A = this chain, B = another copy of it.
Amino acid sequence: MTSQLRLCFRIAFAAALAAPALSHAQRHPSIFINRTEAAAIRANAARYPLLRKTLDAARAMMTQAFAAPMDVPQPGEAGGYAHERHKQNYREMQTAGTLYAITGEARYAAFVRDMLDKYAVLYPTLGAHPLSKNQAPGKLFHQSLNEANWLVATSIAYDCVYDFLKPAERARIEKNLLRPMADWLSVTHAKEFDRIHNHGTWAVASVGMLGYVIGDTSYVNRSIYGTKRDKTGGFLRQLDLLFSPDGYYMEGPYYIRYALMPFFHFAEAIQRAQPEVGIYRYRDSILKKALYSAVQTTFPNGIFPPINDASRTMAIDAPEVVLALDLAYDRYGANPNLLGSAALQNKVILSGAGLAVARDMAAKTTTPAMSWSSVEFTDGPDGKRGGLGILRSGTGLDASMLLMKYGVHGEGHGHFDKLHFIFFDGGREVVPDYGFSRWINIEPKFGGRYLPENDSYAMQTIAHNTVVVDETSQNEGKESAAEKVWGERRFFDAKDPAVQVMSARADRHSPGVAMQRTMLLIKDARFSRPVVVDLFRLSSGADRTYDYPIHFRGQLIATDVKYEGRSTKQEPLGKGFGYQHL
């Protein structure tokens, strides 16, 4: 797509937004599921196993919710009861709303109404959450990010039950709860709202979706264009800058996994409320590329490579990916590999898109399998800041996958790990990435916040499978310096399945040292498994110390290198850059 054509879309988009809004009461938008889709789901639930399963799970969740007393507690610490209760509440509201749309049963709508009423009483009494530490605070939650999560789900729930509510009920809920929360997110914390970062995406999606539901174009506009309406922030800016032209997300797969939900929820809302805009075609269909690139980075078992600050267990069946995959399948067209991914997910969303996936899955006589090819993603908004190479060999769970990282730093969650590699083989990460250092949802461990060891170890170069120069991390472990440089791709050739190769340089990460790593994935009949060949060339004008860590996840069986055991005393390898932990 040329830049001229892209410009056309933007103009069309702006024009559409500027058009006079229809009377809201006449045309309620249905940002997630409409009456036609609901009828089709009712008609086909028994025929499509994935759909039935998802519907049964939703009903079971609500059965449990109805059985317990409804609770909207005072805010608490992350990972603690109140925090988890508020999270569960928005999940239940979203599920109840969707089930009301599908079944028309009043008890589901009444559940959403009653809970919103409780929130509408509590919310005006709250100030900023006292335990926010370094983040922008929410009121219900310690960080505004969770508040935006809450508002995305609740906007869908509110949308579904909108016509069920009396005007006075709507007025009370919007005045005391929904508008104050949207203002908190977009006015009080305007800076967070305008961030080109997944936190910003959650914020704009939540406020923009609410805008459509309650018919307030000012919420919609600030979400699309940023609080200053000049595209220095907002959804379009995020779509421009957070992805490379290939759709690779610069914070890495774990964060695109998380960001896929606001990106796709908001895009779907825009598509439904203002289809003339063509948001799904924006930037040469960047949302399609975003979903595909995310799914294509997964290990053969469906787990996302834990690049940068990332969990080692987050997988393709996360609800965010289910949402994005179903919508991409529906909006961009069927794809056998996507259906293979959906088979790993083993659930769908409860909308027309989920129906389409469930229908196509039911038509298959054998379960589709995910089987991606080798692929290279460019990095940086212009696609010229290095990239990520993935070589694959074999099929299904038994496939091997070699990944090398030579792109941008990736902002606050980035690790100092250029030319780092991961090797997945025989169903597991054999040479793994350490991922992040935190205890998700464990209250006594700072509520799951990042631990000091995330900075002192997990981010440092020595925690990765790449050379460390003079026991010092790349760019001396400074984010500001690391953000200014990136890896440089040399070549990537996966045409011959017997010898696949990728090569990249990092010359600006350790002063005075030029580094090139060339990795080959070789399939040869003389070996039962594919073999990795690793060529690492370093050159420097001065004497240097090079450490070459390989964090092998297994047992050392035999070696022709003589080594000395330290069985009487062990001391840390060094004093900083992660060495103090080794």
Which residues from chain A sit less than 8 Å from chain B, CB to CB? 439, 442, 444-445, 555, 557-558, 567-572, 580
Which B residues are in CB contact (< 8 Å) with A439?
A: 555, 557
| Closest B residue, CB atoms, query A570 | B570
Which B residues are in CB contact (< 8 Å) with A567?
A: 572, 580
Which B residues are in CB contact (< 8 Å) with A445?
A: 557
Separation of A568 and B574 alpha carbons in the complex (Å): 10
Interface contact B557-A444, CB-CB below 8 Å: yes
A576: shortest Cβ distance to chain B, in Å?
Answer: 13
15 contacts between A and B (CB under 8 A): A439-B555, A439-B557, A442-B557, A444-B557, A444-B558, A445-B557, A567-B572, A567-B580, A568-B571, A568-B572, A569-B569, A569-B570, A569-B571, A570-B570, A570-B571
Separation of A214 and B557 alpha carbons in the complex (Å): 44
Separation of A558 and B572 alpha carbons in the complex (Å): 25
| Closest B residue, CB atoms, query A566 | B570
A154: shortest Cβ distance to chain B, in Å?
Answer: 29
A335: shortest Cβ distance to chain B, in Å?
Answer: 34
A425: shortest Cβ distance to chain B, in Å?
Answer: 18
Number of copies: 2
| Closest B residue, CB atoms, query A555 | B439
Which B residues are in CB contact (< 8 Å) with A568?
A: 571-572
Separation of A567 and B582 alpha carbons in the complex (Å): 9
A126: shortest Cβ distance to chain B, in Å?
Answer: 28
Separation of A358 and B567 alpha carbons in the complex (Å): 53
A300: shortest Cβ distance to chain B, in Å?
Answer: 23
Task: List 13 additional contacts besides A439-B557, A569-B570; criterion CB under 8 Å.
Answer: A439-B555, A442-B557, A444-B557, A444-B558, A445-B557, A567-B572, A567-B580, A568-B571, A568-B572, A569-B569, A569-B571, A570-B570, A570-B571
Q: Which 10 A-B pairs have the closest CB atoms?
A: A444-B558, A570-B570, A569-B571, A444-B557, A442-B557, A568-B572, A445-B557, A568-B571, A569-B569, A567-B572
Separation of A261 and B444 alpha carbons in the complex (Å): 50
Which B residues are in CB contact (< 8 Å) with A558?
A: 444
Separation of A454 and B572 alpha carbons in the complex (Å): 28
Which B residues are in CB contact (< 8 Å) with A571?
A: 568-570
Separation of A333 and B571 alpha carbons in the complex (Å): 62
Which B residues are in CB contact (< 8 Å) with A444?
A: 557-558
A496: shortest Cβ distance to chain B, in Å?
Answer: 29
Separation of A157 and B439 alpha carbons in the complex (Å): 56
Separation of A580 and B565 alpha carbons in the complex (Å): 13
Separation of A580 and B444 alpha carbons in the complex (Å): 33
A378: shortest Cβ distance to chain B, in Å?
Answer: 39
Which B residues are in CB contact (< 8 Å) with A570?
A: 569-571
| Closest B residue, CB atoms, query A444 | B558
Which B residues are in CB contact (< 8 Å) with A572?
A: 567-568
Separation of A526 and B568 alpha carbons in the complex (Å): 47
A563: shortest Cβ distance to chain B, in Å?
Answer: 15
Separation of A95 and B555 alpha carbons in the complex (Å): 34
Separation of A445 and B559 alpha carbons in the complex (Å): 12
| Closest B residue, CB atoms, query A571 | B569
Separation of A108 and B557 alpha carbons in the complex (Å): 39
| Closest B residue, CB atoms, query A572 | B568
A580: shortest Cβ distance to chain B, in Å?
Answer: 7
A557: shortest Cβ distance to chain B, in Å?
Answer: 5
Separation of A153 and B570 alpha carbons in the complex (Å): 50
Separation of A306 and B45 alpha carbons in the complex (Å): 47
| Closest B residue, CB atoms, query A445 | B557
A573: shortest Cβ distance to chain B, in Å?
Answer: 12
Separation of A580 and B566 alpha carbons in the complex (Å): 12
Separation of A287 and B81 alpha carbons in the complex (Å): 53
A197: shortest Cβ distance to chain B, in Å?
Answer: 30
A91: shortest Cβ distance to chain B, in Å?
Answer: 20
Which B residues are in CB contact (< 8 Å) with A580?
A: 567
Separation of A555 and B445 alpha carbons in the complex (Å): 11
